[in-house]
Structure 1
Amino acid sequence: MLNSLARSSVSKVMDPIGRGLLKAGLSPDLVTVVGTAGVVAGSVGLLATGYLFAGTMVVTFFVLCDLVDGAMARARGYGTDFGVVLDASCDRIADGALFGALAYYAFATDQRLLGIAALICLVAGQVISYVKARADSVALAIGGALAERAERNVLGLVGAGLAGLGVPYALDVALWLLAVAGLVTVVQRLVQVRRAAVKAAAEPGHRSTGRPAL
């Protein structure tokens, strides 16, 4: 939802930055890797150790690199197959680091229910992205969903930041809302894939592209 609502506004801000970085000799792939490394470092070094507000600021800064690399590819006029795979892989690493760090923090501070919520967010987020990727790999087009990556990052980081400022139960509310939304989105994605598969199978000349699970 956030992706579709904010895309044009974000592009207006990020596109000039992307052009500037290209002129400076940087590549989108390098920005992707640096952004992911920053998210992992901020998550493990700060969020996991209880520095929630500082960690939120650091992670948010590096998450924005995920927008910059796309702007750089647009400014360059083309992307690459490797860049697409690298970006998707780094997204999964960054998401795992963020919610894994929040889970570690919760269990380390004896907040077991909060830790469970963080783990649900982590697993659901990975499954949501995996289902979309697998659907794309067999040419099944599916639309938007309730809790995509933008929503997961925003809600998780807002909850952590507010908790770091001392707002009671902010992280609990954010992660449990996100956990429920994530589970709903997993089901939503699978329903979308099922409908797309049924529609595709009804088309004349359709041949299944399904392959054995890896």
Structure 2
Amino acid sequence: MLSRLRGVMTTLFNPLARVLLRIGVSPDAVTVFGTVGVLVTALWAFPTDHLAVGAIVIGLFAFLDSLDGTMARLAGRSGPWGAFLDSTLDRLADAAIFCGLAVYFVVHTSGATRTWGAVAALACLVLGSMVSYARARAEGLGMTASVGIAERGERLVVSLVAAGLVGFGLSVLVLVVALVALAAASLVTVLQRMATVRTQALAAAVASSEA
């Protein structure tokens, strides 16, 4: 579903992408701008209990992921550097979001809610990084691991929607439950990718022995 939405956003961004390219804005500049926006917002809004504002603003900046790719395609600049920069800065943005949520729980909640919320947010950070690393490492070894139930898009949607709902007045338990479920889904995704790579590695070993 999110992949189809990304295609729609790419189409919608075409006019804006052309305008930015015409005035001399580069795709890399948009990538960096979006990441800085997420960093500043996540590390200010969440720790200061502005969950709704943080979720909305970060969501808007997240759309720049589609804009910079559209600009690169229109300008004929798609390549390894742009992909590397985008993936690297995505990890930094994700870290800021979940660190900001962890600080929110430590500062603004207490008891079991604080413990479970902070631990779940940090678990999402660690396991989300493992999800991305598993795919990158597999591709570096000549295999694929683009499977799983909790890719980056899904992780962002779940965490930001839950944070926004709490910011608009729902119980903070909504965010705790969402983060716990997201951490579990991320762990499942890591295991799915490990199983996929193992299957490919075993198949390659068999093919090599029969050659």
What is the TM-score normalised by the length of structure 1? 0.90
Q: Take 2:13 and 2:208, find their aligned partners in 1: how far apart are those partners?
A: 43
Q: Take 1:196 and 1:10, find their aligned partners in 2: how far apart are those partners?
A: 33
Question: Unaligned regions of 5+ residues in structure 1, if any?
Answer: 207-214
> Contact 2:2 / 2:153 at 8 angstroms: preserved in 1?
yes
Question: Unaligned regions of 5+ residues in structure 2, if any?
Answer: none
> Contact 1:96 / 1:122 at 8 angstroms: preserved in 2?
yes
> 1:205: how far off?
8.8
Q: Specify which of 165, 175, 178 is matched with residue 182 of structure 2.
A: 178
1:96-150 deviation digits (Å, cap 9, x = unpaired): 0001110111122231111111111110100000111111111102333210000
Q: Take 1:7 and 1:43, find their aligned partners in 2: how far apart are those partners?
A: 23
Residues 87-166 of structure 1 correspond to what in structure 2 (within 5 A)?
Answer: 87-109=86-108, 110=110, 111-166=114-169
> Contact 1:159 / 1:173 at 8 angstroms: preserved in 2?
no
Q: Specify which of 192, 195, 204 is matched with residue 191 of structure 1.
A: 195
Higher fraction of helix? 2
- The number of residues matched between the two structures is 205
Amino acid at match of 2:2: L
Q: Take 1:142 and 1:196, find their aligned partners in 2: how far apart are those partners?
A: 10
> 1:163: how far off?
0.5
After superposing on structure 2, the runs of 4+ consecutive aligned residues of structure 1 that deviate more than 6 Å are none
Q: Take 1:7 and 1:46, find their aligned partners in 2: how far apart are those partners?
A: 26
Q: Decide which moves more: 116-125 or 12-21.
A: 12-21
Amino acid at match of 2:200: A
What is the TM-score normalised by the length of structure 2? 0.91
1:19 corresponds in structure 2 to: 18
> Contact 2:41 / 2:54 at 8 angstroms: preserved in 1?
yes
1:46-104 deviation digits (Å, cap 9, x = unpaired): 11221101111121111111111111111112313221211111000000000111011
1:78–1:196 Cα change, 3 Å: farther
Q: Take 1:8 and 1:84, find their aligned partners in 2: how far apart are those partners?
A: 17
Identity percentage of aligned residues: 41
> 1:177: how far off?
1.5
Amino acid at match of 1:56: A
